[in-house]
Structure 1
Amino acid sequence: MTEQFNINQFNCSISGKGQSLVWAHGLCGCMQSEDAIGVYAWHRFPKKLQLIRYDAIGHGLSTQGESVDDYLWPNLAKDMLRVAEHYRATTPLILGGQSMGCATSLFAVLAQPENVKGLVLMTPPVAWQARAAKVDYYHKIAKAARILGGKGLAQMNAKHLDKMLPSWIIDAHKHSVLGMLDGLKSMKRQTLNQLFTAAALNDLPTKQQLSTIQVPTLILAWQGDEAHPIDSAISLNKSLPNATLHIANSMDDVNDWPALISDFCIAVDH
């Protein structure tokens, strides 16, 4: 990845003023798909805080990456920090994200610990030994992506939503949950191939690296999602010195998450 940074590569959304939360979405997602599923309720995020969201490289309305390296989590973390710097986000930052965005945030704080004051980690991805067991799976998806493209993968995933989300979320959001696949439909074959090849190479920071992250951290996890197992969240909670973990077992629990995120950001700001 070149060190030159072009903000025009990234589709960004900024609202509010004050302490900045820079938020990154998950693998094959985008701001549009986050809004479609209806879990995040970003429209309720306090206006006294600044919310910076963006489509990661190769996702949504942002431009495609050039190689597999562009989709490695430490490089996505560089993008996150550069987006924050370009928009003159209030520093130190609060960083957060879902799944891939959670990993992006962790690598960003490791890269610039003095520039981060809080983390929000939503549904951390499968990691460590469990992720190593899925390497062949990621390579198979990368191969399928070359053949099927975004629309084909979206059609396939629509038949297996239970592999992507807990069944109780699917039941609660029957009319909107397919919208989370909208971002995937427009993704190019080459991008998806590179993205899933990178997924086979990616992993969360080591437990030793995590132990050095001192900032307050909010971890949000849910039961019944094999791509985002609560084991990852529990291990993060144990490894991070200043973390709080909330595990959702129902839609009522998840409905509390927007308020938990807002309250956390306000508390960290004071």
Structure 2
Amino acid sequence: MRAFRWPPPPNGGPRTCGPGPGAPRTGRPPLPEPETELVDTPHGVRLERLVTGVGDPVTVFAHGFGNGIATTRPFGSGVHGRKVFFQFRGHGRSDAPDGPWSYLDLARDLRAVADLGGATRAFGVSLGAGALCRLLVESPDRFDRLVFFLPAALDRPRCPAAGARLTELLAAVEVGDASAVAEVVSAELPPAVRNTPAGWAYLRQRLDHLLRDGLAAGLADLPGQVPVPDARALAAVTAPALVIAAEGDDLHPVEVAEQLTAVLPGAILHRYARPGVLWTERADLRGRISEFLNG
């Protein structure tokens, strides 16, 4: 495997091997950056939001730790109706009230954005999946279709490796060290994609957002918390649900996805054979999500 380097070479990176299977074939980000808005919520936290598409149904998309609107938008590319993307507190231009925060706080952010947009369906990835679970404990009938992509924790804290990775990212962003941030973010990429034009484009996009907007210190305690006190409370959720996992993803253990599928009465589980599915199984993943939500 080639060693990771930062900053990238002047020409944008080696072009001899190309990106991994299913990945974008150019070094440009696949989606342009649109203009977002700040919306007031009933609990007093202004959140950054983007609404795309027209008509019904309305689907809300909840992102993962250190991610945001830009990285969540590809999941909705084939989904019908309006799509509501947002940034949790402490991410992007959203407010960062005094912390520390809990998954209940994130669930309030998600509920507020869903209510303001009239969302009837929800998608959550990693941290966003945990916030969605917490919302459903409080309101099991809030949505009529659900997608959980790479759930990271349920009624037990995240593994120590995940906590260390997220702590490292927060520290690198806080001091504005682009090289350190790039080292942490590059771990999200499959080895075959690193040092390719597509990989460099992804890193540039992530670094632009993280170093411009930062990450709030109130996020630091979340890896040691549990999204829900008791997973069995999710048995009251009857909406159809799709749970997606990937074998070999140490930060998002398959066991969490299996537990979530077992407690949700209307859930089905799809597991991919290897991690990095946004790069290796991009078309299949998008099609699977859109087919389920459009159904």
The normalised TM-score by structure 2 is 0.72
Change (3 A) 1:266 1:171: farther
Task: Please tell me whether residue 19 in structure 1 is matched to residue 49 in structure 2.
Answer: no
Query: In the TM superposition, what whole-angstrom CA distance separates every residue of 1:76-98 from its partner, at most 9, and x where no partner exists?
Result: 111111112223x15xx211111
- Tell me by how many angstroms 1:181 deviates: 4.1
- Tell me by how many angstroms 1:212 deviates: 2.6
Indicate the SS of the match to 1:125.
Answer: coil
Unmatched 5+ residue regions in structure 1?
none
Query: In the TM superposition, what whole-angstrom CA distance separates every residue of 1:232-252 from its partner, at most 9, and x where no partner exists?
Result: 112222222211112223645
CA contact (8 A) 2:60 2:114 kept: yes
Match among 71, 87, 105 for residue 75 of structure 1: 105
| Equivalent-residue separation in structure 1 for 2:173 and 2:83 (angstroms) | 35
Aligned to 1:108: 135
- Tell me by how many angstroms 1:6 deviates: 4.2
Match among 85, 99, 102 for residue 115 of structure 2: 85
Query: In the TM superposition, what whole-angstrom CA distance separates every residue of 1:156-201 from its partner, at most 9, and x where no partner exists?
Result: 2422456435445658842433133443323447x1x320223222
**In percent, how many aligned pairs have the same letter?**
20
CA contact (8 A) 2:148 2:244 kept: yes
- Tell me by how many angstroms 1:52 deviates: 0.8
Change (3 A) 1:110 1:204: closer
Q: Which of the pair has more CA radius of gyration?
A: 2
| Equivalent-residue separation in structure 1 for 2:55 and 2:111 (angstroms) | 18
- Tell me by how many angstroms 1:155 deviates: 3.1
Aligned to 1:264: 292
| Equivalent-residue separation in structure 2 for 1:229 and 1:264 (angstroms) | 23
Equivalent position amino acid for 1:174 in 2: G
Q: What root-mean-square deviation, in Å, do the aligned CA atoms of Structure 1 and Structure 2 show?
A: 3.1
CA contact (8 A) 2:79 2:294 kept: no
Aligned to 1:242: 266
Query: In the TM superposition, what whole-angstrom CA distance separates every residue of 1:206-229 from its partner, at most 9, and x where no partner exists?
Result: 331232322111112223321112
Query: In the TM superposition, what whole-angstrom CA distance separates every residue of 1:3-45 from its partner, at most 9, and x where no partner exists?
Result: 94347x111111221011111110011112445xxxx253443
CA contact (8 A) 1:23 1:52 kept: yes
- Tell me by how many angstroms 1:126 deviates: 4.2
CA contact (8 A) 1:23 1:54 kept: yes
Moved more, 57-66 or 179-188: 179-188
Aligned to 1:66: 98
Indicate the SS of the match to 2:55.
Answer: coil
| Equivalent-residue separation in structure 1 for 2:201 and 2:48 (angstroms) | 23
| Equivalent-residue separation in structure 2 for 1:146 and 1:263 (angstroms) | 39
Task: Please tell me whether residue 118 in structure 1 is matched to residue 150 in structure 2.
Answer: no
Change (3 A) 1:82 1:139: same
Aligned to 2:176: 151
Aligned to 1:180: 206
- Tell me by how many angstroms 1:123 deviates: 0.9
The normalised TM-score by structure 1 is 0.77
Match among 59, 68, 82 for residue 50 of structure 1: 82
Which structure has greater helix proportion?
A: 1
Equivalent position amino acid for 2:290 in 1: S
Match among 45, 51, 67 for residue 29 of structure 1: 67
| Equivalent-residue separation in structure 2 for 1:76 and 1:112 (angstroms) | 14
CA contact (8 A) 1:142 1:197 kept: no
Change (3 A) 1:34 1:169: farther
- Tell me by how many angstroms 1:121 deviates: 0.4
Equivalent position amino acid for 1:78 in 2: R
Equivalent position amino acid for 2:113 in 1: V
Query: Superposition pairs for residues 135-150 of structure 1, below 5 Å?
Result: 138=163, 142=167, 145=170, 149=174
